[in-house]
Amino acid sequence: MTITVLKSKVHNARVTVCNVEYEGSLSLDEELIKKANMVPYERILVVNVSNGERFETYLIPAEAGSKEVGLNGAAARLAVVGDPVIIMSFAQKEPQEQVKATILIMDEHNNVKDIKEVDV
């Protein structure tokens, strides 16, 4: 039996772009993707801290160093620029398997304030 656990989390990143005309997904600064131990096109769960909206989509890399957190397509209707969001990805593991989740804590300018590795 496997269980689903948190693998990566970007906590309180601020939305910088909302683009309804794009085909869909969440664009994230490529440096943040790497620091969070995520991969492009990975399935993610996004929570808007301002309004409680939750939705699933996938990651696409934005320019490294841009600090972009872009909601595209239908997801762009679930937030406004400046809203804090939590971006999470998950992995499967055996209950006895030891793994760590990577958590990035962000400031209001999408700078990484802290990186935590937690046992899950």
Rounded (5°) CA angle 64-24-20: 100
Please identify which of the residues 41, 50, 58, 89 carries the catalytic annotation.
Answer: 58
Single out the catalytic residue among 8, 22, 25, 50.
25
Nearest to 88 by CA among 111, 64, 57: 57
User: Any catalytic annotation for residue 58?
Assistant: yes
- The answer to whether residue 41 is catalytic is no
Find, among 9, 16, 8, 29, the residue nearest to 99 by Cα: 8
Judging by DSSP bridges, how do beta strands 25-29 and 69-72 pair with one another? antiparallel
> Which of 100, 98, 107, 103 minimizes the C-alpha distance to 116?
103
Instruction: Just list the catalytic residues.
Output: 25, 58
